[in-house]
Amino acid sequence: MMMTRLHQTLRALAFALLTTAAFQATAVGYTARGGKIFDAGGTEIQLRGISHYGFNATILQPQYLWSMGWKQQIAQMKSLGFNAIRVPFVPDTLYNTTPVNALSYIDANLNPELIGKTPLQVLDLWMAEADRQGMYLLMDFHSVSMVRQYPTWYVSNPVDFNLIYNKQAYTPENWTRDLAFVARRYAHLPHFFAIDIYNEPNGIVRWSTGDPNATNPANFWKAAAETASAVVLAANPNLMIFVQGINGNFDGIENTNIAMNWGEDFQPQAYQPLNIPLDKLVLTPHTYGPDVYQKSSFTAANFPANLVADWEKLFGQFASKHPVVVGEWGGRYGNGTGGQQDMVWQNAFVDYLISKGIRSSFYWCYTPNSGDTGGILDDALNVRQDKMALLQRHWGAFVAAPATPTLPAQPDRQQAVTSFTPSSGPVGSVVTMTGTAFAGTTKAWVGVGKHAAVKVISDTQIRLIVPAGAST
């Protein structure tokens, strides 16, 4: 019995020493602080973003290559003042081996480099060129299928297997595998700063517990997002994690009477917060006006003034603690199905963003062939100057916050681990550690397992997820 206890004590001590020696008090790569995003040098960055879709569609390549050059498109976005591009992709982008020019007509004179290339090879070229031109890159896992937006990040219903690239089930493990693949593949690109882990979870999806009519934990977005973020950060700790909202938790706590878009509802974050490192988390709601979805709030007598309270409740309330970067918004701005009301909506939304100090977002979208929103370009590929004026007002005259100062060493603040539970467990286990000087910790090593995701509970307690390669 004595020898068994001694063995357990030595095992615990080895674990503690290995972990303590590897704590990092400074976050890696891009980080968040006080509702703002900073680059690796500690300088605040503004995201003047635009979505450029196509890699997520059946053509599995950027839109409009039948009449535009791919490098020309990136250069034009940059010349208009955009400095960030949201790139939607799907598993088909990674695994379909059909040459892109066989999937859709491409002007070979304007795009000679792409002829005969697979979608992934084209994505490689595109990411490298956008990075070379200095564009911040947000990879958006848009759906499990190129055919349509799917409500969940997995597919288990055999009726829907035809939507998947290999005509089989698509599991949560497949999803995190593909997120990690992308995180690692483009880790060498300095402007690749974040992954939007899933687009517009909706339908049967709930934030977490609370809805008595939706109790299947497989559809709880909070837990899924936490797992995905840990996998992404283990693959590439430089990245930010963009997490979208849901469209209602129906838990009797949130206000489910607010009209909302898919991806817009973050209310449960107030009482069931995401267990994702604070300095890596970005909340990225989607919201649209009458051109896209006719909400009941649009017919109120006090429209658009009534919308401010909704936006604040759904996501704005978190802007002082977390970066809130609207991942999609837009519309035809006066010539769509919503008519002038959509223009009123977009103007009011920009007013709200300015009032909150939210100067970063990703507008949907660049090319004109998104049916209900159009693009920054019109059908003749001319720039919509009215939309650009709206965006320039949103961006404002950005003044970056000062770089994070280098703090002097504090030898009296040595970290120490006094206990942890459980004492052992497989990769993915959640371990609670008690000790001292944990404030500011963002990563830990467990044996040779690096970059364990950490949540600081207090200066004396943290939780970490055991990473791949961990040993005691």
Q: Which residues are catalytic?
A: 200, 328
Number of CB atoms found within 10 A of residue 169's CB = 14
Q: What element of type H or E holds 417?
A: strand 416-421
Q: What are the angstrom distances between the C-alpha of 198 and each of 25, 211, 386, 454?
A: 29, 22, 31, 22
**Cβ atoms of residues 59 and 114 within 8 Å:** no
Burial of 264 (0-12, 13-18, 19+ CB in 10 A): buried
**Residues contacting 88, CB < 8 A, separation 6+:** 51, 53, 54, 55, 56, 140, 142, 199
| Cα 86 from Cα 93, distance rounded (Å) | 15
Which ranges constitute the DSSP H helices of 133-171? none
Query: Using CA atoms, how far apart are residues 176 and 186, in angstroms rounded to an integer?
Result: 16
Q: How many CB atoms are closer than 10 A to CB 223?
A: 17
**Token pair 């990690």: residue:** 180
What CA–CA distance (Å, rounded) separates 387 from 35?
Answer: 26
Residue owning tokens 């837009």: 330
Pairing of strands 361-364, 416-421: unpaired
Q: Residue 419: phi, psi to the nearest 5?
A: -165, 160
Quote the CA–CA distance of 435 and 419 in Å, as a whole number.
7
Kind plus residue range of the DSSP H or E element containing 6: helix 2-22
Q: Which of 237, 286, 278, 279 minimizes the C-alpha distance to 261? A: 286
> Which residue in this structure is represented by tokens 């990563």?
443
Burial class (CB in 10 A: 0-12, 13-18, 19+), 4: exposed
Rg (CA), the chain: 23
| Rounded Cα–Cα distance for residues 209 and 225 (Å) | 15
The secondary structure element, H or E, covering residue 451 is strand 449-458
Asked if 195 contacts 242 with a C-beta cutoff of 8 angstroms, the reply is yes
d(CA 390, CA 386): 6
> What region, left, alpha or beta, does residue 451 occupy, with left being phi > 0 and alpha being psi -120 to 50 degrees?
left
